[in-house]
């Protein structure tokens, strides 16, 4: 019964993803991109047909989903989403291999933003639109969107939402989780439209404005231009991008509280305050370090701040070749690759809240050495934190670095040096998509062998789901009754 339930839900989810291809299909028809029309039509009919029959069958069925079922469904959703999303690439007639198609699709839904394309600007515009929209859909989470639609299916969605957003501290915000998901997606859409309009005011055409709006709000980092935002060389566009990269990397729950005039919740939020401190301190150090490299102080501040925000939020946009920057700036950026944005955001990485919890716990351990009889606890949002939060963070950090170590070993086994192997592992695990590698800018992975691309596709999915939803599936206890 559970297997049939999961199959039906997956069918409906894949059907929803198929509908996301419609704007790209329409654009292909309008522009006369005939190969792309076929590429989008191939998955359209079977995907919608399967979803149609599954929808009406599920609608008449009453069942519940446990949290363990949610983990499996979330993982399978991301796997099949990546497979379904790869079809437009594979059938595009551009000679894209199966492994490259899977890698590009997974980069999209995991918002990693890496690529195997050496020339972006020769790609059909409909494919570029799909590339951006897959980032946008993956940014807030396919499952969160599904949860918002769960009432139509006649089932509850809290288990799915919990499996999709496994941060250390969560509140339901509203009594009904489906209503919460709708609000979050509404906020996400509003920010995306505002950003696209600002890009249009900054000189982009409508196509580029929305494509960049989709990817920046998803902290995805891909562009429609080979040189990225450097193509526009606009201070207005750069600063707007910095602001919205930070917006996308802040916990979306805070925006809901802010719109409800609960200003104290944001003012007292520990993670938000630490996030801003890390960003401004890092941007200041890097900008100051770059003054001698650029013609003006304004350029040093603008480009330094842009690159700081891009790496810190795991967006991965490359505004300049930071591998040629002074070593201090490179060191700061490298440290930021591990941190990431806030929990409940579209950013990747360890998340600021986990770094904060570990720091506070380390301070407590130092106090305990000095005062052995003392009783110490961490405080989050001006409240005493639970011990199980510390334990959960410690377990997550161990898994995070274990995956990085595993990915480093696998990459090195494929014949790459230690520097490139380690930096690739950090970039893929944190869903950043850009980084350092043997003294060169690490952004294009076309030279990687097919098995390694498929391996990193799994790593990107695991990183996007913050590992628990994937790692738990590989434990014997999960499969016991």
104-146 pLDDT, tens digit each: 999 999 999 889 998 999 999 999 999 999 999 998 876 576 5
Sign of CA dihedral 60, 66, 67, 69: negative
pLDDT at 268 over 50: yes
Residue 286 in tokens: 């890097």
* Sequence-ordered list of residues with C-beta below 8 angstroms from that of 282, at least 6 positions apart, any chain: 308, 312, 332, 336
Answer whether 150's CB lies under 8 Å from 176's CB: no
Which helix (H) or strand (E) segment holds residue 210: the answer is: helix 206-217
Rg for the chain, CA atoms, rounded = 22
What does pTM read for this prediction? Answer: 0.90
Q: How confident is the model at residue 310 (pLDDT cuts 50, 70, 90)?
A: very high
Q: Give tens-digit pLDDT for 62-92.
A: 556 677 777 888 888 899 889 989 999 999 9
Answer whether 419's CB lies under 8 Å from 397's CB: no
Residue 113, SS3 per DSSP: coil
Taking the alpha carbons at both ends of the chain, their separation in whole angstroms is 14
Q: Tell how far CA 46 is from the center of its chain.
A: 28
Residue 281 in tokens: 């301190």
What is the average pLDDT across 391-402? 91
Instruction: Spell out a b/e string for 148-167, using b for 16 or more CB atoms within 10 Å of the CB, else e.
Output: bebeebebbbbbbbbbbbbb
Q: How confident is the model at residue 439 (pLDDT cuts 50, 70, 90)?
A: low
Q: What percent of the chain has pLDDT over 90?
A: 52
Q: What is the DSSP letter of 431?
A: T
Answer whether 186's CB lies under 8 Å from 79's CB: no
130 CB-contact burial (10 Å; exposed 0-12 / middle 13-18 / buried 19+): buried
**Range name among 95-99, 189-193, 266-270, 412-416 with the lowest pLDDT average:** 266-270
What is the average pLDDT across 394-405? 94
Compute the distance between CA of residue 462 and CA of residue 392 in angstroms, rounded to an integer: 17
pLDDT at 1 over 50: no
Q: Tell how far CA 157 is from the center of its chain.
A: 21
Compute the distance between CA of residue 76 and CA of residue 72 in angstroms, rounded to an integer: 6
pLDDT at residue 259 in the model: 83
Which helix (H) or strand (E) segment holds residue 442: the answer is: strand 440-442
pLDDT at 348 over 60: yes
Mean pLDDT across the chain, nearest whole number?
A: 86
Residue 414 in tokens: 């494929």
Q: Quick count: other Cβ atoms within 10 Å of Cβ 372?
A: 7
pLDDT at 230 over 80: yes
| Beta bridge pairs of residue 435 | 442
What is the average pLDDT across 404-418? 95
Compute the distance between CA of residue 128 and CA of residue 40 in angstroms, rounded to an integer: 13
Answer whether 173's CB lies under 8 Å from 262's CB: no
């Amino acid at each position: 019964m559970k297997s049939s339930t999961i199959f039906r839900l997956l069918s409906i989810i894949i059907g929803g993803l198929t509908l996301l291809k419609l704007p790209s299909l329409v654009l292909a028809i309008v522009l006369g991109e005939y190969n792309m029309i076929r590429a989008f039509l191939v998955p359209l009919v079977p995907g919608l047909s399967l979803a149609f029959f599954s929808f009406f069958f599920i609608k008449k069925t009453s069942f519940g989903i446990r949290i363990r079922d949610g983990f499996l469904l979330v993982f399978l959703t991301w796997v099949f989403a990546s497979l379904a999303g790869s079809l437009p690439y594979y059938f595009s007639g551009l000679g894209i291999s199966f492994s490259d198609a899977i890698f590009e699709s997974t980069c999209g839904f995991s918002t990693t933003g890496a690529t195997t394309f050496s020339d972006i600007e020769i790609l059909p515009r409909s494919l570029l639109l799909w590339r951006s929209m897959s980032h946008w859909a993956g940014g807030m989470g396919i499952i969160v969107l599904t949860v918002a639609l769960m009432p139509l299916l006649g089932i509850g969605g809290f288990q799915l939402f919990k499996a999709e957003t496994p941060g250390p501290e969560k509140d339901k915000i509203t009594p009904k989780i489906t209503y919460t998901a709708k609000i979050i997606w509404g906020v996400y859409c509003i920010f995306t439209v505002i950003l696209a309009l600002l890009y249009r005011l900054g000189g982009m055409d409508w196509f580029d404005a929305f494509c960049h709006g989709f990817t920046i709000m998803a902290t995805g980092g891909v562009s429609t231009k080979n040189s990225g935002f450097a193509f526009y060389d606009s201070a207005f566009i750069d600063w707007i991008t910095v602001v919205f990269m930070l917006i996308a990397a802040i916990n979306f729950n805070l925006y809901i509280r802010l719109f409800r005039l609960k200003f104290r919740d944001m003012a007292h939020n520990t993670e938000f305050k630490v996030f801003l401190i890390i960003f401004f301190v890092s941007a200041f150090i890097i900008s100051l370090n770059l003054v001698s490299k650029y013609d003006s102080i304004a350029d040093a501040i603008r480009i330094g701040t842009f690159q700081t925000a891009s790496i810190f939020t795991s967006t991965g946009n490359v505004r300049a070749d930071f591998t040629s920057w002074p070593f201090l700036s490179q060191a700061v950026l490298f440290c930021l690759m591990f941190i990431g944005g806030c929990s409940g955001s579209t950013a990747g990485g360890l998340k600021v809240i986990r770094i904060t919890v570990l720091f506070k716990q380390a301070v407590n351990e130092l106090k305990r050495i000095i005062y052995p009889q003392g009783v110490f606890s961490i405080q989050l949002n001006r409240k005493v934190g639970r011990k199980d939060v510390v334990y959960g963070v410690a377990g997550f950090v161990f898994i995070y670095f274990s995956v990085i170590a595993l990915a480093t070993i696998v990459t090195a086994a494929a014949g790459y040096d230690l520097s490139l192997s380690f930096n690739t592992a950090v970039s893929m695990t944190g869903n950043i998509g850009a980084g350092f590698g043997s003294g060169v800018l690490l952004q294009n992975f076309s030279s990687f062998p097919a098995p390694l691309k498929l391996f990193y596709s799994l790593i990107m999915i695991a990183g996007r789901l913050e590992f628990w939803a994937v790692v738990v599936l590989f434990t014997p206890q999960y499969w016991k009754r």
